[in-house]
Amino acid sequence: SQKIEQNSEALNIQEGKTATLTCNYTNYSPAYLQWYRQDPGRGPVFLLLIRENEKEKRKERLKVTFDTTLKQSLFHITASQPADSATYLCALQYSASKIIFGSGTRLSIRP
Amino acid sequence: DGGITQSPKYLFRKEGQNVTLSCEQNLNHDAMYWYRQDPGQGLRLIYYSQIVNDFQKGDIAEGYSVSREKKESFPLTVTSAQKNPTAFYLCASNPPAGEVTGELFFGEGSRLTVL
């Protein structure tokens, strides 16, 4: 069965630095790879989607890469701020209904 | 504003009781989903529905039931057959049916605790 691993349960970095989160998967590549942000006690909020034929996607301070050879996606937040502290979820989408989520990485940005 | 509304936000249940979690959306989305989230784990799919009057089991459907009588509504019943129902339940939707369409829109979740 498909497995998703997000690099670590928690990541702590200094404000202003670039946060890099990793999502690795096994088996076959998805059509889409998505990243969500989840704050404590809230529902996830969609951030970015990248297609399997795309290498990189950017949105403001966010950048996502997708390497189907390595079976890995990297999620970067540049110029990180304490407000970026949250749990970030990686999700593999194979069809409209088949979306598999990782367990998330809890990111903390210290001032 | 368009969105997904889940209720109640917090719910306590005694063992042996069925409970129903509400999910309503005004986004005009065809597909709706129920996920379960446990601490340190990813979201796991319980049930999904791509169109009114049709729904399919997800990865962990045992002990749960759903209905989809209206496009806007997709309630989840946690039955007494669910062995470990304490969890955070998330409802989501995306448009339209039958295609890979991108992101899911989530509600704010319902936290169920069995006493």
Residue type, B21: L
pLDDT tens, position by position, A41-89: 999 999 999 988 899 999 999 999 999 999 999 999 999 999 999 999 9
| Strands B110-114 and B105-106, bridge-based pairing | unpaired
Q: Are B4 and A42 in contact (CB under 8 A)?
A: no
Among A47, A101, A105, most B C-beta atoms within 10 A, so best to mutate, is A101
Inter-chain CB proximity A44 and B106 less than 8 Å: yes
A31 touches chain B (CB under 8 A): yes
pLDDT beyond 70 at B101 = no
B51 touches chain A (CB under 8 A): no
The alpha carbon dihedral of A65, A66, A67, A71 has a sign of positive
B103 touches chain A (CB under 8 A): yes
- Spatial CB neighbours of A104, under 8 Å, sequence gap ≥ 6: A6, A9, A38, A87, A88, A89, A90, B42
* Cβ neighbours of B43 in A, within 8 Å: 44, 89, 101
B47: nearest CA in chain A?
Answer: A97
Report chain A's mean pLDDT, rounded to a whole number. 92
Task: For A19-46, give one letter per residue: b (16+ CB within 10 A) or e.
Answer: bebbbbbeeeebebbbbbbbeeebbbeb
pLDDT tens, position by position, B1-57: 679 999 999 999 998 899 999 999 999 998 899 999 998 788 999 999 988 999 999
How far away is chain A from the Cα of B99, in angstroms, using its nearest Cα? 5
In the three-class reduction of DSSP (H, G, I as helix; E, B as strand; rest coil), residue A68 is classed as: coil
